[in-house]
Amino acid sequence: MLLEVKDIHISYGDIQAICGVSFCLERGELVSIIGANGAGKTSILNSVMGIFPPQKGAIYFKGQDITTMPVHQRARIGIRIVPERSRVFPRLTVYENLMTGVYGLKNKLPIDERVSWLYEVFPILKERHNQIGSTLSGGEQQQLSIARALISDPELLLVDEVSMGLMPKLVEQVFGVLEQLNRGHGLTILLVEQNAFASLNISARGYVLETGTCVLHGDAKELMDNPRVKEVYLGH
C-alpha cells in the first residue's frame, strides 16, 4: 500500500473540518474524493501533504508514519501537490517555476529530459518558457502547477480542485493528462474534486465526503450509478 490514512481528525479552532476519515491508495491507483464545498476535501489533501497535520489519527506513506513529518520532507520522499488555484511563483519564469520543483534532486534526475517531456505534455509551457508566472492565463498557470509537481517524478500526486476556474475544454484536457499519467506512466494520483463526473470517470475508486465524514466509498463506476451520488453530485 502506498498511502494509508487512518481515522484522521482535523479542526480549525472550534470548527471540526474532518472527523474520523480513513482511506488508502495502492500504488498505481487513481482515487477521487468528491464532495460539496466545505465538505473537507482540501483539508484532507493538506493533511496528507503536511500543510495542516491532523490533530488525531495517522498517515502512512510506503509504510512509514509521516503524520508529523514537515511538508518539505514529504515532498522529498515523493509526495507532490497541485494546489487549488495553482499557486505558481508569480515573479519567476515558467522555467524557473519548474526548477523549484527539482530542488535538492538536481543530481538524481535527468532534468533536461523531464523538462522536454513536460513541454511535450503541455506544449503551451514551451511557448511561455521565459515568461513570468503572473503573466500566464489561469489555464496556463494550472498546467504549470501540474508540470512543476510532476518534474520531480513523484510517487504520489495530490491534485486539489484542478478544474476550478478552467474553461470546459481545458478541464477535459487536464483530466485527459491526469488519466494518461495514471494509465500510461503508473502514477498514483489522489484527486479531490467538485466536478464529480469528470473525476470519477477517470478514477478506479472514489470516496464521497459530507461535512467532514466519509459517507460512501467504492468502485468509481458503482459510485456513478449510486442514486445518492447521481442526485447530489451528478445532477441526475
Site of interaction with another protein (CB under 8 A): 49, 51, 70-72, 75-76, 80-81, 83, 87-92, 96, 99-101, 103-106, 148, 152
Q: Are 71 and 46 in contact (CB under 8 A)?
A: no
Minimum distance from CB of 106 to another protein (Å)? Answer: 7
Q: Identify which of residues 86 and 203 has a Cβ nearer to another protein in the complex.
A: 86
CA 148 – CA 116 distance, rounded (Å): 13
Question: Judged by CB, which is closer to another protein: 17, or 158?
Answer: 158
Radius of gyration of the chain (CA): 17
Whichever of 71 and 216 has its CB closer to another protein, that residue is 71
For another protein, the closer CB: 74 or 205 = 74
Q: Which set of grid coordinates corresponds to residue 199?
A: 473525476
Question: How far apart (Å, rounded) are the C-alpha atoms in residues 179 and 185?
Answer: 9
Cβ at position 148, least distance to another protein in Å? 7
Rounded to whole angstroms, the Cα distance separating 58 from 8 reads 6
Helix axes of 138-150 and 111-121: crossing angle, nearest 10 degrees? 140
What's the distance, CA 171 to chain centroid?
14
CB of 99 to another protein, least distance (A): 6
Q: Which is nearer to another protein, 106 or 169 (CB)?
A: 106
Rounded to the nearest whole angstrom, what is the least distance from the CB of residue 100 to another protein in the complex? 5
DSSP secondary structure string for all residues of 25-51: E-TT-EEEEEE-TTSSHHHHHHHHHTS
Q: How far is the CB of 87 from another protein (least distance, A)?
A: 4
